[in-house]
Structure 1
Amino acid sequence: MNPTVQPHWHQRASQLHIDPRAFIHGERVDVHGWGRFNSINPQDGAIVASLPSCGQAEVDRAVESSRKAFQQGSWSQRSPYERSRVLLKLADALENNQEELALLDSLEMGMPISSALPDIQVAAGIVRGVAERVNQLSEQLLPSAPSTLALNLRVPHGVVGAITPWNFPLYVAVAKIVPALAMGNSVVLKPSELASLSSLRLADLAHAAGIPAGVLNVIPGLGTETGRLLALHMDVDCLSFTGSTNTGRVLMQYAAQSNLKALLLECGGKSPQIVLDDLGDLDAVAEAIVHGYVWNSGQVCVAGTRILVTRKLYTPLMERMVARLDAQRSGDPLDAATQLGPLASAVQLERVASMVEAARSSGAKVVAGGARDEAMGGCHYRPTLVAEVPHSHPFMQEEIFGPVAGILPFDSPEQALHLANDCQFGLAATLWTRDFYLANQMARRVHGGPVTVNAVARPAPGFVTGASVEPARVSGFGSEGGMAGLLAYTRAKNVQFRLA
């Protein structure tokens, strides 16, 4: 659906029925836990909802519900075909309720409705892709003696805990929950306290689509409280997390302190974009680079915020980028014409502003933006480009998570590769070149899970479906997407039969 033909998003938002209660064992439940916390609209500071912060009793109840469902086999013992049929119904439900889900994400974290709506559609596509691939998995029959039958199997972990971020609330929840469910696991999800409502609504839709009670539980709460309890729980077999590297390190400690649960971590990123000198349409490249790092107000883990440009094109590309940055339309997220919404919180706004000021104070040149958007109010920050900042500066080395990037020149592809890899992160990378041989060589050597050539990592064109990626370095570990992403929610098991 084209959001530009829907002129009454504010009216639709005012008509939403928001249920902030936890979802445990197939129903919404009232909990007491640690008290309550507010979800705040970053556009105007209004309270979207007051939610419960689930405590030990609620976490135990949710995990026990998932364990019991797994052991009883109401879902785990169904055939892949049967599970895929239910998941396809869930995909339909996402599309049928896409406006409501998009509005919840837009209200809670400020994503423009023009981006939030397609994001729900992409999430529905993920569900369909998983439903298709789960039917293509096969067990492995091993060569053995005539009197022996040996099998390599993939079996579900059991109870999977999932902790999701606020930047793409529904999308990331789907990307974690659905592969885990497809492989027969039960899931307990703790969404970000900044944006929990679409994940809670997802649980309603999943249950209505045929996911049995207990197989999916959603427990809202603060990360330092509810998230910690889930990560430390002795009956959670696997924990899947997307968020900061610092939190990822803490979760590794929790896994070690508890039951050595398996971990899948997608942590921070500071992704490079390498622009070589054989490009044709420099205007199109400038447009793509700007769109790639200011989309969703720069709150994208794979955003290419280290822009490395061959010296020959450095000035002309920068000039084109500045013109496009100055033309970005900031505004109300519920205005279909808005390109740039607010940052998700006042805390995030302060971090972005302080990082830019630190670069400016060190002698860097802010060539576009570099300030709060006072005209818009709320948590808006102007799209920013910073030049002449040393690559070793924290601005070029740390994840900022805002519509800001640094730009540096290089003199050779080898130097560009050195700069790209001179960073603790290894989440994603982008190469801009028409030289296929050079692109192939550099793509194999640059650190990153997805490496895109002549397109930004996200939002990227749909070249293929079912691609699998895995981060490197402090960006985490564990595969997502494709067959490898399904297998990540299983463990290997060997079974041998003596036949005679």
Structure 2
Amino acid sequence: MPVSALQTPADTLEGVLASIRALTLPDKAVIEGMEVLSASGRTFDNFSSRDGKLINKIAACDRADVDAAVHSARQAFEDGRWRALAPKVRKKILHRLADLMTGHAENLSLLESLDTGKPISDARNVDIPLAINSTRYYAEALDKVYGEVAPSPEDRLSYVVHEPLGVIGAIVPWNFPLHMAMWKVAPALAMGNSVVLKPAENSSMTALYTAQLALEAGVPAGVWNVIPGLGGEAGDALSRHMDVDMITFTGSGPIGRQLMRASADSNLKRVSLELGGKSPQIVFADSDDLDGAAANAAWGVFYNQGQVCTAASRLLVEETIKDAFVAKVIAVAKTIRVGDPFDPKTQFGAMISERQMNTALDYIEKGQAEGGKLLLGGERVRSESGGYYVAPSLLDIAQDNILAQEEVFGPVLSVLTFNDEQDAYRIANNTIYGLASGVWTSNIGKAMRAAKALKAGLVWVNGWDACDITSPFGGVKQSGFGRDRSLHALYKYADLKAVSISFKA
């Protein structure tokens, strides 16, 4: 794997293709600081969502590889090669990792776009910069972790300290592979833990590449291991391993339930889950920025081809402005440039897989069968490329439609109507999920009432996804529990220990 400075970003499709052809594609696990084949020698096929063609074959890790990775992580934790380093030393190393990621940002962007089908412009301008920012944030935060001194009688000193949990198993999704990985890996490392990362089989390459950069930065061998493989093999083995202290997961509800069962069946390891969503974006007639609301309504669900856990997939519009507002949303959606992910001008690329594409198309059909009116899109596009593309789609639906309840995880926006505040909040809360929500209004009282009434881990007023690494991210209800981002995530990877020392007065 290259460790030298990388090329200047190409600004044409031909240039991007040439840069990708020059890449050495990661395909091996990283265990104990070494790139290794799977113990069985098996691999899995990694296909491009851009054109359906084979990218490469990646090591298919299974239980034997998980055992090796966890053993490596445990040894690294117990001998203190990382956790026992002075905070200022760990901080310097993580900053060095962020520096290397910055120097290799173009390669990371190319790999992310190649793996996922997302526009190269998004990988360059959003995904990789945010992954780097997460690394820097937790590097800077790690030496600001303080304990407490408890009120004690004169013959006793009692204090509380934060101690790393041990071995963290991180299982991350394919929609924002490195971004989500660093939401988990960076704070876990910052607290002194060892990590075994299992990336999604659709998108393993940036994790494998970055783990090598971590070694170059000075993270000791064994502290961060990466085990690519299938969820039913590598993921299941990691979740059931008796020497893993915590599983942190972002993904689907059914897998989240499996992870909780695995915890109960093994060593009662801690579990942190960020699961699905069916997030509402509420637009009141009194908003003084309906153009901004329309742009956020469109991009809130069509960004990343709708493959976002916080996608604003339900648009709730006050009845008096519905027709005019929906027309604004459609006008914005029609300007979105669908195209080849490697073209820097593309805004909307391919879905991750043929299966995910077909899921989205099936939901569109079901929504119409249940009375939904298709207002935009609804079909596969760019099929001649061999890739998996679905047009930005919008349907007008009733509250009992399947599209009002089930997560599509694709570019499908459903429009519902409400009459007043209480009606809006009732509809917004009428799902099993509670991840994100939004409201557009110029009435501060209404905004405050909405923030209190909406049952979600995130509430955004007059903006969508209006937050950053300093704000906790996670949901309520069946969207899971536990938080990524912010200092709250840092403390998630630590235990509290209370110490009392008695002495003679």
Report the TM-score when normalising by structure 1: 0.96
Partner of 1:382: 391
- What do the CA deviations read for 1:4-27 (whole angstroms, capped 9, x no partner)? 846511100111001201000011
Q: What is the CA distance between 1:375 and its match in structure 2?
A: 5.5
**Is contact 1:368–1:383 with CA below 8 Å preserved after alignment?**
yes
C-alpha deviations, 1:13-54, integer Å up to 9, x for none?
Answer: 111001201000011012243822111101111111101211
Bigger shift: residues 443-452 or 243-252: 443-452
Which residue number in structure 2 is paired with residue 284 of structure 1?
292
1:113 is aligned to 2:120: yes
Q: In the alignment, what sits opposite 1:490?
A: 494
Closer, same or farther in 2 for the Cα pair 1:2/1:340, shift >3 Å?
A: farther
Give the Cα–Cα distance (whole angstroms) in 1 for the partners of residues 375 and 484 of structure 2. Answer: 37
- Work out the number of aligned pairs and report it: 495
Match 1:45 to one of 48, 52, 75 = 52
Give the aligned residue type for 1:75. Answer: W
Report the equivalent of 2:464.
456
* Paired letter, 1:84: K
Partner of 1:99: 106
> Can you list the C-alpha shifts for 1:409-459, whole angstroms capped at 9, x where unaligned?
1000111001111100011111111212211121122121221111112xx
Alignment of structure 1 residues 370-449 onto 2, 5 Å: 370-374=378-382, 377=385, 378-387=387-396, 389-449=397-457
Q: CA shift at 1:465, angstroms? A: 4.8
Between the aligned partners of 1:268 and 1:168, the Cα distance in structure 2 is 14
CA distance in 1, matches of 2:255, 2:337: 33
1:353 maps to a residue whose letter is L
**1:278 Cα deviation from its structure 2 partner:** 1.2
Q: Work out whether residues 8 and 106 of structure 2, in 8 Å CA contact, stay in contact via their aligned partners in 1.
A: no
CA distance in 2 between counterparts of 1:44 and 1:36 reads 21
Q: Distance in 2 between matches of 1:363 and 1:2?
A: 51
Which digits, 9 at most, give the CA deviation of each residue in 1:158-207, with x for residues without a partner?
A: 00000000000110111110000000100000000000000000100111
Instruction: Give 2:193's match in structure 1, choosing from 176, 185, 200.
Output: 185
CA contact (8 A) 1:38 1:49 kept: yes
Find the aligned partners of 2:181 and 2:484 in 1 and give their Cα distance: 13
Instruction: Note the C-alpha offset of 1:466.
Output: 1.3
**Where does 1:341-360 land on structure 2 (aligned, <5 Å)?**
341-360=349-368
- Find 2:94's aligned residue among 87, 92, 96: 87
Letter paired with 1:117: R
Residues 351, 2 of structure 1: alpha-carbon distance in 2 compared, 3 angstrom cutoff: farther
Q: Which runs of 5+ in 2 are unaligned?
A: 1-6
SS of the equivalent of 2:222 reads coil
1:327, distance to aligned residue in structure 2 (A): 2.4
Equivalent positions of 1:26-425 (< 5 A) are 26-33=33-40, 35-118=42-125, 119-374=127-382, 377=385, 378-387=387-396, 389-425=397-433
Residues 339 and 106 of structure 1, relative CA distance in 2, 3 Å threshold? same
Counterparts of 2:499 and 2:455 in 1: how far apart (Å)? 37
Aligned 8 A contact 1:3 1:336 in 2: no
2:389 aligned counterpart, secondary structure: coil
Runs of 4+ that moved beyond 3 A: 1-7, 374-377
Q: TM-score of the superposition, structure 2-length normalised?
A: 0.95
CA distance in 2: counterparts of 1:239 and 1:144, whole angstroms: 36
CA distance in 2 between counterparts of 1:376 and 1:470 reads 39
Shift of 1:390: 2.2
Query: Residue 351 of structure 2: SS of its match in structure 1?
Result: coil
